[in-house]
Structure 1
Amino acid sequence: MKKRLVSITLATTMLLSLTACGSGNSGGAAGTAAPAAPETTAAGSGAGSEAGSEAAAEGAEDYKGTVMLYSSTDEGVIIALKEAFETKYPNVTLDYYAATSGKCVTKLATEFQSGTVACDLAWLADPSAMITLKDDGNLLAYKSPYAEGIDGKFKDADGYYSGARLLLMGVTFSTTTCSDEEAPTNYDGFLGESFKDQIVMTDPTGSGSTKALVYALTNNSNYGWEYFEKLKEQGVELQSSSGSTNNGIASGAYKLGFGVDYNTKNLMAEGSPLGWHDTKDIVAVPCPIGIPKGAPHEELAQLLYDFILDPEGGQAILTQYNITPIVDGVALPEGMMKASEIASLALPIDWVDLAAVSNELLDRFDAIFKN
């Protein structure tokens, strides 16, 4: 155990510039984004003032001010989004707070309690947290025209939030300790004898995507809680973030882990010794956007909401980072499925139920892995 922790520490040092809560660069596009810190508050740079004014759509100059985004999305994606948004709307500055979904929710909760909301738009890791905000009366309804192109499984029927990108869970493995042939292509393969004490998983307490995975598998007759009890017997270890999980696998301390598609693929594009397998049982997580009640710049929040869902705006940017757009109509890289296709194939997740049983789910998970 001590040797494994030393390996992870060394790997974290080497890979810190590659990952914050995933990857800070474009997967397959020329150039890289600035390295991401675990959580950051950034002021706008006024990108593309003269060129942006010339290229901006008619009427774009009429929008003025600053819009604040809280997001668990990879910071490289946010920076690219910021640059494109400020180019289209040259008189609007996009500021952002980048942190884990849990930290974004905690920051929002503090603001709601004090009555001084600074966030105009929240972009979280999974719908369950957004559903809780809705149920507590802390979201404003807004139905973007672009949301019409999103499958009903990935948005709120009442218009309080909408998925804005899709994450797919799967198998991340070390190419130095695990061959492509050995690495499993479905979740039951994690129980193989050769993976004893060689598996890592992000703690679902701090990871919305992993929490969704636990819910999907425990509510599936092929897995259930018995599957996670067997994982415990396999010696599965927990990490606090997907970045730490990737670092542990890349260092060779673990053969494989439960990964997030774009995180792994972006690191692979940068030369990290990682491999990726999609799974037969698809777990898809729509990462939603919503406008907090009390948002100081509601009109600009709606403007940013629309831009993120625009197939020619934010959705097109996502593919450069190996992220699946949630709106069909975007040109996709080879091998990437459309969101509508994923919706028809993915394991069912009742997000309303997940929000209701979230604490119970995490308590039961903790009882298996932390006692």
Structure 2
Amino acid sequence: MKKCLVWMGCLVLIASFCHAGDLAKAKAEGKVNFYANVTAIEPIMKAFSETTGIEGIYTRVDTSKFLSTVLTEHEAGKLQADVLQGPLPILEMLKQKGVLAPYHSPLAAGYPEWAVKDDTIVQFGIEYVAPIYNKEYTKPEDAPKRYEDLMDPKWKDQIVMPDPSSHATTICWLVGLKEAKVFPSDGAWMAFVKGLAANRPMFVKSFGPTPAPIESGEKRIAISMPKYIITKAPAPLDWVRVSTILGTPRAIAIAAKAPHPEAARVFLDEWLSQKSMKLLADKVGEYVLAPGVYPPIDGIEKAKVVPIRELSDEETRKWGAEFKKIFFNQ
């Protein structure tokens, strides 16, 4: 999915020495407010402030509350955000509501064409999902090698995952496995879903709690995120080398009524730069779309990482109900 041609990398490196935003005016504005659902980005915020002399203020907004929080503030004329980062579908809805402003950053040069589809929203990464395990309790030679291996009865009562009846991203991920043709047929996909359910996974509310049971040895396999290999270190976590990794696109844009518009443009430029994306990959384990940048996770640069389609509310309810029947009737 990445474009790693040398000339594209050069474009990004060249662009990293300039801003479309006016740095002098941005410094005069003094600060930039960043609303985001991505976590552990303090190293990037610190680097931004040190590089530009502009104070970067990070406000973490939970994904489930992101849309309502931003719209409520916007409609009341009290939105403090200059830059907004969240899942692509949420930013697309905010764009429809007139919350976002057009801006084409020169730092988007070299990103995949599908990631820069318009002049407002830029997709910079994929919130990737794959099985992970603890090498202290599961030897790599004994770990699953394919999605199908999660159906093996030896993993019964040994898997943890977000609740597939209510966790929207997990619902999208399961359906994405079908739509991305990860399995040879729809029948093979459904056999996998039922086989996974037959092993009676332990359910948690989101991906955040999934590493803990495998860190402690309570469970052996987690349907989780490989980024935890970085953020949970020194826990000896590893990932299952599945053929295709799926995930939700991460996106970013500038607020239409940004209190600090020049600082917002400078911040977006810096965010998309190779330097910042390398920090995001190295320190947070994120899979980013800047060409040639990968998290320091063994084998991840060879993986096929594919963005999944976000389901509509109706589809999410439908599939959630279907997965509830499958997973809760074991």
Judged with a 3 Å threshold, the aligned counterparts in structure 2 of structure 1 residues 246 and 360 are, in CA distance, closer, same or farther, namely same
Whether the aligned pair in 2 keeps the contact of 1:174 and 1:254 (CA below 8 Å) is: no
1:212 deviates by 4.1
Residue among 191, 216, 222 paired with 1:251: 216
CA distance in 2 between counterparts of 1:334 and 1:196 reads 28
Whether the aligned pair in 1 keeps the contact of 2:172 and 2:316 (CA below 8 Å) is: no
1:195 deviates by 0.4
1:286 deviates by 2.9
1:260 deviates by 0.9
The residue aligned with 2:110 is 149
The residue aligned with 1:296 is 259
The residue aligned with 2:280 is 318
CA distance in 2 between counterparts of 1:297 and 1:356 reads 38
Judged with a 3 Å threshold, the aligned counterparts in structure 2 of structure 1 residues 245 and 93 are, in CA distance, closer, same or farther, namely same
CA distance in 2 between counterparts of 1:198 and 1:337 reads 25
SS at match of 2:209: helix
Q: Which letter maps to 1:163? A: Q
| Structure 2 residues without counterparts, runs of 5 or longer | 1-17
1:213 deviates by 1.9
1:184 deviates by 0.9
CA distance in 2 between counterparts of 1:263 and 1:315 reads 17
Residue among 120, 126, 129 paired with 1:166: 126
Judged with a 3 Å threshold, the aligned counterparts in structure 2 of structure 1 residues 224 and 129 are, in CA distance, closer, same or farther, namely farther
Judged with a 3 Å threshold, the aligned counterparts in structure 2 of structure 1 residues 167 and 348 are, in CA distance, closer, same or farther, namely closer
CA distance in 1 between counterparts of 2:96 and 2:314 reads 10
Using structure 1 for the length normalisation, give the TM-score.
0.70
1:99 deviates by 4.1
CA distance in 2 between counterparts of 1:293 and 1:189 reads 48
The residue aligned with 1:328 is 291
Match status 1:242 vs 2:207: yes
Residue among 141, 148, 151 paired with 1:181: 141
| Structure 1 residues without counterparts, runs of 5 or longer | 1-55
CA distance in 2 between counterparts of 1:116 and 1:362 reads 35
SS at match of 2:35: strand
Aligned residue runs from structure 1 range 349-360, under 5 A: 349-351=308-310, 357-360=315-318
- Higher relative contact order structure (alpha carbons within 8 Å, sequence separation ≥ 6): 2
Q: Which letter maps to 2:262? A: E
CA distance in 2 between counterparts of 1:309 and 1:167 reads 16
SS at match of 1:275: strand
- Superposed CA RMSD: 3.1
Instruction: Say how many residue pairs are matched.
Output: 302
Identity %: 22
1:204 deviates by 6.1
CA distance in 1 between counterparts of 2:146 and 2:268 reads 35
Using structure 2 for the length normalisation, give the TM-score.
0.78
Residue among 120, 133, 136 paired with 2:94: 133
Q: Provide, for residues 128-184 of structure 1, a one-character-per-residue CA deviation record: whole Å limited to 9, x for no partner.
A: 32233334443322221122311123x251233112233332221133432211211
Match status 1:215 vs 2:175: yes
CA distance in 1 between counterparts of 2:277 and 2:177 reads 29
Whether the aligned pair in 1 keeps the contact of 2:198 and 2:327 (CA below 8 Å) is: no
Q: Provide, for residues 334-354 of structure 1, a one-character-per-residue CA deviation record: whole Å limited to 9, x for no partner.
A: 84656xx86xx4456345x66
